[in-house]
Amino acid sequence: METKKDTTEEKILDAAKNVFLAKGMDGARMQEIADEAGINKALLHYYFRSKERLFEAIFSEIVKFAFPEISRIISSDEPVIDKIEKVVDAYLNLLLKHPFIPGFIMKELNRDPSSIFKMIGKFGFRPQSIVDALQGAMDRGEIIKMDPRHLAINIVSMCVFPFAARPIINYLIFNEDKQALEKFYSERAEVVKQFVINAIKAKN
93/147 same-domain check: yes
Q: Is the pLDDT score of 5 beyond 70?
A: no
89/185 same-domain check: yes
Q: Is the pLDDT score of 123 beyond 70?
A: no
173/108 same-domain check: yes
Rounded CA-CA distance 53/32 in Å is 16
Q: What is the pLDDT of the chain when averaged over all its residues?
A: 86
pLDDT tier at 2, thresholds 50, 70, 90: very low
**Residue-wise DSSP of 153-171:** HHHHHHHHHHHHTHHHIII
Q: Tell whether pTM > 0.85.
A: no
30/130 same-domain check: no
Q: What pLDDT does 204 receive?
A: 67
Helices (H), the chain: 2-27, 30-37, 41-47, 51-75, 80-97, 101-111, 113-122, 127-139, 148-164, 166-168, 178-200
* Cβ atoms 84, 138 nearer than 8 A: no
40/84 same-domain check: no
Q: Is the pLDDT score of 25 beyond 80?
A: no
Q: What pLDDT does 159 receive?
A: 94
pLDDT tier at 4, thresholds 50, 70, 90: very low
Q: What pLDDT does 6 receive?
A: 65
34/90 same-domain check: no
CATH number, domain of 100, equals 1.10.357.10
Of 15, 34, 49, at which residue does a domain stop? 49
CATH number, domain of 29, equals 1.10.10.60
- CB neighbour class for 33 (10 Å; exposed up to 12, middle 13-18, buried from 19): buried
Q: What is the pLDDT of residues 134-172, one digit of tens each?
A: 999 999 999 999 999 999 999 999 999 999 898 899 999
Q: What pLDDT does 113 receive?
A: 75
Rounded CA-CA distance 170/172 in Å is 6
When pLDDT is averaged across residues 39-67 and rounded to a whole number, the result is 83
The residue range of the domain holding 158 is: 52-200
